[in-house]
Each structure stands twice: as structure tokens, then as C-alpha cells.
Amino acid sequence: MVEKGQVKGVDGPADSNYNLINQLGKGPKYSMHMPGHCGNNEVTPILNQFLKEYGGNAIEGTTDEVFGTLGNYFPPSGIMKKSLDQAAELYGTKCTYYGINGSTGNLISATRCLGGNKQVALLQRNTHRSVAHGFRISGARLRFSYPDYDEEHTLFKPLTLDQIKAEVEQNCDITVVVVTTPTYEGLTADVPAIAAYCKLKGLRLLIDGAHGSIFPFHDQMPHTGIGIDGVDIVVQSLHKAAGAFSQASVIHLNKTSSIDRTQLETALFITASTSPSNLLLASIEEVIVRNFSKEGKDMISKVIGFATQAKDTIRKLPGYQLWEFPGIPQDPTKVCFDYTGPNGKKLTGEQIRNYFREHFSVDPEEYTPTSVLFSFHIGTTEATLANFLAAAQTLHTETEEKLLFKCRTLCEDIRPHAFHKNNSPLQTPVYAVDLQECFQLKVKSYPAWAIKQSLESDPYDKQLWVSAQIISPCPPGCIVVDIGEKIKLWHFKFLDPQQELLVFEVN
């Protein structure tokens, strides 16, 4: 007999997706993750109500009959085309398309429009892996720019105009610039200034705005790149901030973009699924229409108010340092801080997260060795705010022994934070094998420590160890070791010596 909540033939709750989801439903009550990742019914209320009342009809929504009624996904037709036209009108773009493969899919499509054998793309070294891989697949060459690395806060700041100018002046072959804004922590680049410079130099500009999808809906938010002359393409993850289901994304062509609509449609036609999820498409449409409405704007104003109240409280409590960056516009819904106890010892981000989670059922978006990050979003309620404030105030009043005991005995699901390890920024990758060639080579596995020893015994750098895998901590999704990249000693600042590394046989 199969017990409720178990799948026949499965030993434990973590051995299948079904049982894992079932267990996660019993987790922290107040999730302060990105809205599309937090399971909050307030995020997509219309669809959630539909699924509760007509669950069976949701499955029927994937039938061929529904596909025929909606029209084609690509090329768009019927109801789907009307929905996309409405989205473009609301955003004020030349065209806007829905993506159901996350911003990863849309960014790869964007690189198909901007890349090519004669193109040279300037990327941030901490760019998302999909951007680098998309350009490599297109045949474009890569150059890298390095945003300032803040060692105190263990994060990269946004790319600046001066940093872009320096690279363009040094490398006159650059044809495309890619800027990630906002950062994972909500810091934003000066998009208008960067766009004006790119237009002056005849450079195409792609904005990876995955974490800024809520920005277009409210005037208290920073620039997104939408509607700014000089910006060609903007990609945004609606599930990260705007409230759509996970994997939901949009890609925009600005009205002044040098990219033709048919170019983008062709790229999307190549990369998009021929069997799109209608539930994902419906969630995208719902959050766009709702967030541009008065109801949506009022909801976002309320969320900004919650986050402001949280930050005001944190500033007043002893021991807390709210992460603020004067001169850099920030996402007002992000709250990031660290905490130092009365004895002068700083708690780790994991300890703070565990305390909030265990005693007040408040789960942060992310934690690092030094801090925690909370996302206030359209599903945040008064109860969530109240528990957040109670946790912050109670943490401050705990004795050291009691606090550290609690933190040591809580959750054991410590996540690897390779990117934050050693407070050390990444160096320039050296590609030894072209991406297209990688799939023709044989692969072997070696322990990381053995490769490191080999490199340490080779002062003249004659040995060639070429990675056959991608190591990319998420968040933020930037590449530590890429496929086809030459493995160097600096990589081992971010790698576990005991882990197995896949390498190509190229010697």
C-alpha cells in the first residue's frame, strides 16, 4: 500500500520531484525569495484561484485544441499575437515576446541577433553563463570588462561607463556591449549614459535585466533600459521579481533598436519550444497586465513601503550594518545586511538565515559567508513583515551562547558558495578549445587536487588541462570554469580539492 504523499517504489521524500515538492510545501511559512520561487498564492492570484477551483481544466489547457485556439507561439498569430501586441504597447517597445525557457533562452536568442563570426562582444567577467555561451555558439569573439569588486561586501558592483570606455578604446574591434543591471543584490548601472556612449560609437547594446523585471511597473524604480535610445535589446525574468511562474521571461526590442523585428523572431523561432506551456504563457500575460494597472502599482508601492520600514528598523538596531551604496541606484525592494554581536564577533550569513528561518519561519532569498539578502515582493504580506521585524529585534537581544547554540544545531543544508569563497574576483579565461570542437573530444575525470599538483609542478605552464564541464555557482550564474577553458591555478581558489573535474584529452 502506498502512503499518502509517497510515490510507489520511492524510499524517501527527497528521492523524487513529487515527494520533494510535497515536503517543501511544509517549509518556512514566510518566504522572502524572488516571488516566482516562493510558492506564494498572492504572486499570481488569478491563475492560483483557477488551479484551485478547476485543477483538472489546467491539464486540459495543454491540449492541441487549446494550442489551435490560442494561435501559434512562433511565429505569433491569433490570441497570442494580440497578447504580445498588448505587451509591447504597455511597455512602449517596438515588440515584446514571451519566453518560457527563462532569461537563459531569451539571452541566447539575443546573442543570435547580435553575434556572428565578425562580431566581438564585450562582456562583464561575472556575466551569466548563457550570455557567454550564446556568443560563443554564434562564432563571436569575447572580451571581458571587470566591474569593481567590493571586498567588504564580497560582491561585484555594476559596470561603469568609464570601464566600458577603457575597454572600447583599447580594443577597437568591439561591436557589441552587454551590461548586467541590476545585479543580484539590486545595484544598477547608469544605463542612459552607457547607452548614449554606445550609440555615439556605433555599438549595439544588450541589457541583461533579469533581476529588474519589476522596474518598468513603478516610477520609484531605477532605469531598466526600456525606452532608452541606444539600448537595442532588454531581457527580463518575470519570475524573479514581477511574479510570474518560474521560467517566465520577456525580451524587448526598443523602438530605436538597430535590430529588426524579423531578426529577433527568427532567433526565437530557432530556440523556442514548439510545445510551449500555456500556463507559463498565461502567467506572463497576467503579471504584465496586472502590474501595469493601478492595482498593480498600488501593490508595488505597498511592497516598497514594507522594505523601507524594514530598512529603517535595521538601521536603528545595534550590531546591524545595512548594505547601502551611495551614488548607485538600488532596487528598493532588496534588503541586505550583516550583523555583529555585542562581543564584536560577526555572525555568518548562514547563522543569521538559520535563526530567522527556525524561530520565525522567515526564509531569506540568499545568504553568503558574511550577509543575508531578503526580497520584498508582491506576495509579501503584513504578517511576513511583522515576523521579519520580530526576528531582527530578537536576534539583537539574544545572548551569544544561546544564539550560537541555536545556529549550530539548525538546518544542515549548507549551500556551496564557491563564488564568494576567499573574497577573490575571477580572472580572464583562456579558451584552448573552440566550443564547436568540444563535442568531438574524449573526456576523462581527475580529482581537482591532482590537477592542482600537476600545475604547481609546472612553473612554465606547459601542461594543458582543458575543462570539459561548466562550473557556475547559482546565484549569480557567472562562470568560474567554462567548457573549453584552460584550467589555471587561480581556479582552485573556487574549487573543492576533492571534487572530480572533467577534462578533454588534448595533449
Is the CA virtual torsion 362, 15, 104, 431 positive or negative? positive
Predicted confidence band of residue 414 (pLDDT cuts 50, 70, 90): very low
Specify the pairing of strand 362-364 against strand 30-32: parallel
Predicted confidence band of residue 402 (pLDDT cuts 50, 70, 90): low
Cβ atoms of 32 and 362 closer than 8 Å: yes
Number of other residues whose CB lies within 10 A of the CB of residue 391: 20
End-to-end CA distance of the chain: 56
Predicted confidence band of residue 478 (pLDDT cuts 50, 70, 90): confident
Query: Is a pLDDT exceeding 70 seen at residue 248?
Result: yes
Closest listed residue to residue 136, CA positions, set 175, 174, 108: 108
- Write the DSSP assignment of 92-121 as a string of letters: T-SEEEEESSHHHHHHHHHHHHH--TT-EE
HSE, side-chain direction, 13 A CA sphere, residue 268 = 28
Backbone phi, psi, residue 102, to 5°: 65, 180
Query: Is a pLDDT exceeding 90 seen at residue 4?
Result: no
Cβ atoms of 19 and 13 closer than 8 Å: yes
Q: How far apart are CA 449 and CA 133, in angstroms?
A: 27
What is the length of the chain? 507
Express as a percent the part of the chain with pLDDT over 70. 81
Is the CA virtual torsion 209, 210, 216, 220 positive or negative? negative
Residue indicated by cell numbers 612553473: 459
Cβ atoms of 154 and 368 closer than 8 Å: yes
Averaged pLDDT score across all residues of the chain: 85
Greatest Cα pair distance in the chain: 71
Q: How far apart are CA 432 and CA 439, in angstroms?
A: 14
Cell numbers of 174, please? 568591439
Is the pTM higher than 0.85? yes
Least-confidence region, from 151-165, 193-207, 310-324? 151-165
Cell numbers of 137, please? 555558439
3-state secondary structure of 176: strand
Cell numbers of 21, please? 515538492
The per-residue b/e assignment along 428-459, b for 16 or more CB within 10 angstroms, e otherwise, is ebebbbebeebeeeeeeeeebeebbeebeeee
Specify the pairing of strand 141-145 against strand 443-447: unpaired
283-339 pLDDT per residue, tens:
899 999 999 999 999 999 999 999 999 999 999 999 999 999 999 999 999 999 999
Cβ atoms of 370 and 352 closer than 8 Å: no
137-147 pLDDT per residue, tens:
999 999 999 99
pLDDT score of 33 = 76
Distance of CA 487 to the CA centre of its chain: 26
Closest listed residue to residue 159, CA positions, set 199, 131, 107, 122: 122
- Higher pLDDT, residue 16 or 76: 76
Specify the pairing of strand 141-145 against strand 120-124: parallel
- Write the DSSP assignment of 17-31 as a string of letters: HHHHHHHHTTS-SEE
Helix (H) or strand (E) holding 504, with range, is strand 500-504
Cell numbers of 343, please? 562581543
346-376 pLDDT per residue, tens:
898 888 998 998 889 999 998 888 899 999 9
Specify the pairing of strand 500-504 against strand 443-447: antiparallel
Cβ neighbours for 200, distance < 8 A, ≥ 6 positions apart: none
Distance of CA 356 to the CA centre of its chain: 23
Q: How far apart are CA 103 and CA 249, in angstroms?
A: 5
Cβ neighbours for 357, distance < 8 A, ≥ 6 positions apart: 28, 363, 364, 410, 411
3-state secondary structure of 356: helix
82-113 pLDDT per residue, tens:
999 999 999 999 999 999 999 999 999 999 99
429-476 pLDDT per residue, tens:
999 998 888 888 999 999 999 999 999 998 777 789 999 998 887 767
Least-confidence region, from 7-11, 32-36, 155-159, 438-442? 7-11
The domains of the chain, with CATH numbers, are 60-292 (3.40.640.10), 295-408 (3.90.1150.10), 423-504 (no CATH)
Strand ranges (DSSP E) for 443-487? 443-447
Closest listed residue to residue 285, CA positions, set 57, 33, 44, 106: 44
Cell numbers of 10, please? 520511492
Helix (H) or strand (E) holding 253, with range, is strand 249-253
